[in-house]
Amino acid sequence: MSDFVNEFWNWYVILIVLISIVACAVFLWTQSMARPGTAQTTDTTGHVWDETLEEYNNPLPRWWMWLFYATVVFGLVYVALYPALGRFPGVFGWSTADEHRKEIERVDAQVKPMFEKYLKMDLQAVATDKNAMDMGARLFQTYCIQCHGATAQGSRDKGYPNLTDKDWQWGGEPAQIIESITNGRIGMMPPFGGNPDAVGGEPGARELANYVRSLSGLSHNAELAGKGKERYNAVCFACHGPDGKGMTALGAPNLTDKVWLYGGSEAKIVETIVGGRTNQMPAWKDFLGEAKIHVMAAYVLSLSSGATAK
């Protein structure tokens, strides 16, 4: 309850909780004024079943009433000891976040030695260790399949790269893979649709798209590709290079292969040129730590290298 944007909501929660508990107590008191066992009344609720079966309007038995009062007392004690009143942390200062932290520390104390062992090993060697790869696979299934899929083949047209091929946007060397997982990556293709002078609007984007398709041997319009080459040399070579092989340091992809992160049809390439692309690989350094990242990076390396774990 520490995320309130202002004090109003803090006091709103406090008042709602306390008023609700007190209201329950007042209601119980009003319903226990007449003691059962005294003069029997003939007041009924007005409900009748089977013609003559009526429901009397008598108070609850005293022992039952005291059980309800006990719940009211329990509620007051609970909100005093534990966080239930807005920002008030409770006398014990207990929190789910703190319990979660303690649980993580307890588990880490048990598994840390296993990961630390592999942290001292070369990544290539870890990638051939069966136990390490079993651990890496479990880490991958927990944290990575949401984007890269259960088979690590990503999702074409959605910007999630395939990790089982040998195409690496930011480099596939061990240090580069570790860097990607540790600090994340932000890839951006700037949009050129708002700058007609740069690529000549959508017609110019079509020319560029045909030239880019020609680089990887895909079917294309030769006339449009010829015009697109001039536009490429004026606008695109700074990132993708004069030969179209890209720059891993910038995350600029290789345009000469047949691997497409957002699709390689003419329409998709035009869409990329006109609207640009932005995608992010989150950083895991604070969540996983160096040792777990080392094992996960080795697992990712094994997916594309074909290394056999022993």
* 71-96 residue pLDDT tens: 999 999 999 999 989 888 899 989 88
Which residue, of 44, 72, 94, is where some domain finishes? 94
- Residue 253 has what DSSP assignment? P
* pLDDT at residue 2 in the model: 58
Q: For residues 95 and 138, give the distance between their C-alpha atoms in angstroms, rounded to a whole number.
A: 29
Are 15 and 46 part of one and the same domain? Answer: yes
Domain CATH number, residue 126: 1.10.760.10
Q: Is residue 1 part of a domain?
A: no
Q: Are residues 166 and 288 in the same domain?
A: yes
| 179 and 296 housed in the same domain | yes
Residue 274 within a domain: yes
In a domain, 2, yes or no: no
Are residues 202 and 213 located together in one domain of the fold?
Answer: yes
The predicted structure's pLDDT at residue 223: 94
Task: Determine the length of the chain.
Answer: 310
Q: What is the predicted pLDDT for the residue at 309?
A: 62
Look at residues 46, 70, 94 and tell me which one is the last residue of a structural domain: 94
Residue pLDDT, tens place only, 18-36: 999 999 999 888 877 755 5
Whole-number average pLDDT of the chain: 88
What torsion do the CA atoms of 242, 243, 246, 252 make, to the nearest 10 degrees?
50
User: Given this model, what pLDDT does residue 48 score?
Assistant: 83
Q: Are residues 299 and 171 in the same domain?
A: yes
Domain for residue 109, yes or no?
Answer: yes
Would you say residue 310 lies in a domain? no
| 104/278 Cα distance (integer angstroms) | 33
Q: CA separation (Å) from 3 to 7, 87, 127?
A: 10, 9, 43
Nearest to residue 177, comparing CAs of 262, 259, 258, 281? 281
Indicate if 193 and 273 belong to the same structural domain.
yes
pLDDT beneath 50, residues of the chain: 1
Please indicate, yes or no, whether residues 236 and 287 belong to a single structural domain of this protein: no
Can you give the pLDDT at residue 44?
75
C-alpha separations of 44 from 40, 250, 266 in Å:
11, 82, 80
Q: What is the pLDDT of residue 269?
A: 94
| Number of domain units in the chain | 3
166: number of CA atoms within 13 Å, CB side?
4
Tell me: do 68 and 148 sit in the same domain. no
CB atoms under 10 Å from CB of 50, counted, come to 6
Q: What letter would DSSP give residue 264?
A: -
The pLDDT assigned to 266 comes to 94
pTM: 0.70
pLDDT digits (tens, 9 = 90+) for 217-256: 999 999 999 999 999 998 899 999 999 999 999 999 999 9
288 and 244 assigned to the same domain: no
122 in the same domain as 246:
no
Domain that holds residue 234: 189-280
What pLDDT score was predicted for residue 104? Answer: 86
